[in-house]
Amino acid sequence: MELKKNTLIIGLGNCGCKIAKQFADIGYETIFANGSEQDLKVLGNIKGIYKLEGFDGFGGHRDRAMECLQENSEFVDALCTIKQKIIFIIYATGGSTGSGLSTIVAEWLQGEYENDKIICTVPVLPAENESINKHMNAYQAITELMELDGMGATFVLDNNKSDNGDLRWINKSFLSMLDAFLTDDSWGEPNNFDESERMEMLKEPGNMIISLCKDGITKIREGNIFAPLQNDKVCGNIGIIHSGRNDIDINELVAEVGKPLNISEGWGGKCTLIAVSGMSFPVDHVSRLGNLAVEGQKERQRNVENAKAAALPTLDFGVVKTVKPIEKAANEKKKLSNREMLMAMRKKA
Ligand SMILES: Nc1nc2c(ncn2[C@@H]2O[C@H](COP(=O)(O)OP(=O)(O)OP(=O)(O)O)[C@@H](O)[C@H]2O)c(=O)[nH]1
Ligand SMILES: [Mg+2]
């Protein structure tokens, strides 16, 4: 089985759809769901678009998702006829459409296909300088995701890692990493990192990361697109494709990510690839975002309290009295207007 052919990418909300579009452009089967006509226009003329009628954005309210799905049965119908074995749901946790839909869609797919499919999620976390509402939504989305049973791997992308706010770099990097993971068909002595081993990794619940370069081990901690790893060394499986000869020192890698149950290695890759699955969710980092929201709300509350004291005082504007014009003396001759003078002159002539 070729993994790419057996993969469906679902993009939810604006960010999810933009990342999913990149996969569509390189031949992946894709479904897009969003309410905003303007956002969908950016995708161009492409199949698999579901416009969520009546929901032109959720305006920051994740809780509108259920109502939206009830009113947009065409999209839910599409979720019931998926042929691919592996499904990726991509969405921004900080927005409201993708963030709100994500849990319900994941739960729906899980119920619909039970253990028949591997359902992976790709939640995108807001940067630390984004708004309170984004941090609250992200915290809720990750809490809900962690409570779901039967899910496959989760790739937590972190917008805080973007270079000067360049989110396209995050999108592109994820595309190349996941595509390499799904399509690298390199083979060599003495072993290969085969498709069934990759499927096992995707099937494994918990956090997963991919790194695509020679200095992959240091990139696991910094300079990557993923949320900072939970510092507990919980690790399920490691997959490696060496591009040269043993270009990854496994002991060094294990010291970094923890002791895995299994290590699958392949040789002859176009570039070095490291994948680590079954790790803990990045709870510390997500808590940090949650606390930023709590602190932000406290500050707003303080501002509201201070603003109360700043009521407008009552001012006495006084009353302006009118003054009567001075009456002209009765004997004073009325001055003629220019017109009157001209008329009088014409009469005389
Ligand atoms: N990595 C990445 N993040 C993005 C991108 N576009 C938006 N975001 C992030 O996504 C979050 C906003 O989510 P959106 O996807 O725009 O929201 P939505 O799902 O359309 O929901 P609404 O609030 O209803 O519009 C913010 O945290 C942004 O930083 C993108 O192209 N790449
Ligand atoms: Mg939107």
Considering the entire predicted model, what is its pTM? 0.89
- At 12, the pLDDT band (50, 70, 90 cuts) reads very high
Q: What is the pLDDT of residue 216?
A: 66
The ligand that comes nearest to the alpha carbon of residue 38 is 2
Nearest to 149 by CA among 118, 116, 110: 110
CA 217 vs CA 224, 282, 299: distances in Å: 11, 18, 40
In the reported structure, the alpha carbon of residue 21 is separated from the centroid of ligand 1 by a whole-number distance in angstroms of: 14
Pocket of ligand 1 (CB under 6 A): 13-15, 18, 34, 57-58, 60, 92, 94-99, 124, 126, 130, 134, 157, 159, 167, 170-171
In the reported structure, the alpha carbon of residue 15 is separated from the centroid of ligand 1 by a whole-number distance in angstroms of: 4
Nearest atom, ligand 1, residue 101 CA: 19
Q: What is the pLDDT of residue 190?
A: 64
- At 68, the pLDDT band (50, 70, 90 cuts) reads very high
- CB under 8 Å, gap of 24 or more: what pairs does 44-47 form? 46/21
CATH ID of 7-293, from 3.20.20.80, 3.40.50.1440, 2.60.34.10, 3.90.1150.10:
3.40.50.1440
**Span of 63-72, 101-110, 155-164, 183-192 with lowest mean pLDDT:** 183-192
Burial class (CB in 10 A: 0-12, 13-18, 19+), 172: middle
The ligand that comes nearest to the alpha carbon of residue 101 is 1
What is the tens place of the pLDDT at every residue in 194-249?
899 999 999 999 999 999 876 667 778 777 999 999 999 999 999 998 887 767 88
In this prediction, residues 315-322 reach a mean pLDDT of: 91
In the reported structure, the alpha carbon of residue 50 is separated from the centroid of ligand 1 by a whole-number distance in angstroms of: 17
Q: How far apart are CA 153 and CA 86, in angstroms?
A: 11
Looking at every residue in the chain, the average pLDDT score rounds to 91
- At 144, the pLDDT band (50, 70, 90 cuts) reads very high
List the domain boundaries for the chain: 7-293
- At 1, the pLDDT band (50, 70, 90 cuts) reads low
Which residues lie below 8 Å from residue 304, measured CB to CB, with a gap of 6+? none
